[in-house]
Structure 1
Amino acid sequence: MSRPYRVSRHNFTLVEMAIAMAILVVVALIIGTASATFYNGYRRSAKVTEQLKAYLAIDRIMDQNIRNLIPFRWSDELEESRLVFEGKTDSLHFVTLRRTYGNDRGALLFVRLRVEDGELVAEYSSYPRLPWEDEGKQEYAREVIAKNVRSIRFLYAEEVDEEIEFEDTWEEDDHEAPPLAIQMTVEWNDGTSERWLRRTAGSGSNSTFGNRQTSGL
């Protein structure tokens, strides 16, 4: 009579279990390190992408608006012709020329740049938006140019004795025309800063727009 077949059982020894656990730990460390490296690379890539988008947006504002800034005059409440330009240290209000299409409201665009709640904001209006009028009386379109902005600073260039000098503000009482060039410094929340400098289009004293004037600023 044959004996029943018995399956031999082999229990893991302590050494084998220790080796298996070590292998699992090494695999987990490799996966964790790879995941952390991928995540950090993704965060850096996302940060660089956001910075690049902000730089491109600011370049667009400087190239399309500041570069095409013109001297535009408008009559105030006292029927006095005034230059529609307000250059402060932390904000800029001006008129620029833009490309027009069939359904556009005109070639003039009234623009203001400033920082609001940590964002660099551009405000646009196809209708006259005047610096000396009350804030609530004027409608505009709003565009966020860049985020994580701590502050901005404008400098305004003028020619003095055949040399270029920069001023912190640009007052109409002291200047009858827009500055020759405008520099904008953007300080980010991480402490870094970038500068943009563009020459304006209509900085001469022999041409102006508005009030049917063509000379004699």
Structure 2
Amino acid sequence: GKGLSSQSSGGGSFLDSVGVDLGHQEMQHILGEVEQIFESQPSSWLPVESVGKLVAFNTGYEDEEELDSTLNMTFATFIKGLPHFTTKTEKGRLMFCMKKEPPQTQWTPKKMVYKINTTQDLWTVFMMSKHCVVRIPELDDFELRPFRNTRVDTIYNHIGHAIFNLGNYVKPGEGCPYNMTIKEKIASTVYGLNLLLDVPKPFTWEVYDPSGISEFKPNKNVQTFPMQRSDID
């Protein structure tokens, strides 16, 4: 596993570990459970403690303490570290709800730029809205567009999914609809993306989002600009 415990220190370290933990399949499983609970009651505010107990039960943990030890933090800290939930305290209880997508009339188009200087930056959690485009200028012509849904994952895993999906197009011996030139281009992009996971030199994660919903957590080194319509066409 890629733990950061030996390196993390001081104030924001739990956010770093939220990023690291989301890189594990088990965290995605726990997160999926939480999202499923909200799918059945999308606009509700739910008590964090009760949802934690339910998630622990649904995912086969003995109790919430066992869930916390897998998360490497309390369930409440885990929820606070994710970009698509909002929390509030009501009568001494921590409540949370899933952020709803604003109607198009309330969209704020924005461009976000995040410089990845070290492998630790890859564990930043990025909520990729289904409307956005991600570009890595250091990799010619590479664009990442999400599938039908908004995806919440570490930048490392977003790149990993792109490598996996592109790799499927260039598997040898499969009836590939592309000609060799395009196949070679895809193969070279896959190679380039693989190299980026080691961060041999800094690169840029550029987000163009007409809805403005996309978000980083933690977002301390993210630059945000108004987006021009021409940026995404």
TM-score by length of 2: 0.22
Structure with the higher helix share, 1 or 2: 2
Structure with the higher strand share, 1 or 2: 1
Structure number with the bigger relative contact order (C-alpha 8 A, sep ≥ 6) is 2
TM-score by length of 1: 0.24
Q: Which has the larger radius of gyration?
A: 1
